[in-house]
Amino acid sequence: MKQQKADRRSQRTYRLVSSAFAELMVEKPYDEILVQDILDRADIGRTTFYAHYFDKEDVLNTIIEQELERLTHPITHATARQRVVPSLELFEHVYHSQNRQFLALMRSRAGEPLWESLQAALCRAIESALSTLYAERRSPPIPLPVVSEYLAGSLLTLLKWWIEASMPYPPEQMESIFQQLALPGVWAMLKEK
């Protein structure tokens, strides 16, 4: 994104463009969205758009950065509460957002960078939590980066399925399902001496 301006008119433009782009994501695939579609939906001129963004990819990247910030917030709080895997926090965050545009982004190919960034953030948080748990023990039989990659991947695969299936179960049940499916082997590995 170009240098973000702080005045009210610029902030209004960012909101209009983000909202228009997100609405269009609900209606059609990312590849079919044109800058002109965004301009028409946001009811702004081409000059105004290009004063704030380079192109539609810049709009997408801005939205992804904002969503990633919102999604990593529950991860940070879970780590602060000493939870190894912030599964409940992520399921609750997605469930309570109920934002059609956010869900459209998460379901589309355009959201892949968001999933990749979320996986990286989850891996770091999980590995840090596992390192804390394992600090006073000998090396684990499975390297912690491998375990964190496995847990993050399992959680995100389940989260993606849940979103695509229109969230058929409440967050608490999804967290329980994840715990039952993914964690027994990890806890057994951590208890090995």
Instruction: For residue range 9-61, list pLDDT tens digits in order.
Output: 989 999 999 989 988 988 898 999 999 999 999 999 999 999 999 999 999 99
Residue whose tokens read 């545009």: 101
CA distance 85 to 152: 8
Q: How far is CA 161 from CA 31, 87, 107, 110, 193, in A?
A: 23, 14, 9, 17, 36
pLDDT tens per residue, range 137-180: 667 788 899 999 999 999 999 999 999 999 999 999 999 999 99
What are the residues whose beta carbons fall under 8 Å from the beta carbon of 27, sequence distance 6 or more?
none
pTM, to two decimals: 0.81
